[in-house]
Amino acid sequence: MRKEVIGIYDVVACGSCTIDVFGDTSSELIKIKTRKYEEDHIAYPSGVKILLKELTFKVGGGGVNAAVVASKLGLNVAYLGNIGLDANGDFVLRRLKHNKVEFIGTRTNEQTGYSIILDSIEQDRTILKFSGANDHLDFDKIDKSLLRTKWFYMTSMIGQSYNALERLAKFAHKHKIKVAFNPSNYLIKDNKAAIIRMVPNTDMFMVNEIEAYLLTGQKGVKSQLAAIKKMGAKMVLITEGPEGAGYTDGYKFLYIKAHKVNVVEVTGAGDTFGSSFISGLIMKPGHVKYALKLALLNAESVIRKRGAHSGLLSYSKAMDIFNTRVNILSL
For domain 9-17+60-111+136-330, give its CATH number from 3.40.50.720, 3.40.1190.20, 3.40.50.620, 3.40.50.300. Answer: 3.40.1190.20
The predicted structure's pLDDT at residue 3: 39
Query: Which pLDDT belongs to residue 5?
Result: 44
So what's the pLDDT on residue 31?
63
Higher pLDDT, 89 or 262: 89
Mean pLDDT throughout 294-305? 93
In degrees, to the nearest 5, what angle opens at C-alpha 203 toward C-alphas 8 and 145?
A: 25
- Place 4 in a pLDDT band, splitting at 50, 70 and 90: very low
Q: What is the pLDDT of residues 68-110, one digit of tens each?
A: 999 999 999 999 999 999 999 999 999 999 999 999 999 999 9
pLDDT of 321 reads 95
Lowest mean pLDDT among 19-23, 243-247, 289-293: 19-23
- What is the pLDDT averaged over residues 22-36? 66
Tell me the whole-structure pTM to 2 decimals: 0.87
pLDDT, the chain, mean: 89
pLDDT value for 143: 95
Q: Which residues of 191-206 are buried (b: 16+ CB within 10 A; e: fewer)?
A: beeebeebbebbbbbb
Q: What is the 3-state secondary structure (H, E, C) of 57-104?
A: EEEECHHHHHHHHHHHCCCCEEEECEEECCHHHHHHHHHHHHCCEEEC
Q: Work out the average pLDDT over 282-308.
A: 92
pLDDT at position 136: 96
Residue 311 has pLDDT above 60, yes or no: yes
Average pLDDT over residues 144-148: 95
Identify the pLDDT of residue 252: 95
Which has the higher per-residue pLDDT, 126 or 223? 223
- Domain borders along the chain are 9-17+60-111+136-330
**pLDDT for residue 12:** 98
149: nearest Cα among 178, 181, 169: 178
CB proximity list for 260: less than 8 A, separation 6 or greater: 242
- The pLDDT of residue 126: 74
How much is the average pLDDT of 147-162?
94
Q: Could you tell me the pLDDT band of residue 117, with boundaries at 50, 70 and 90?
A: confident
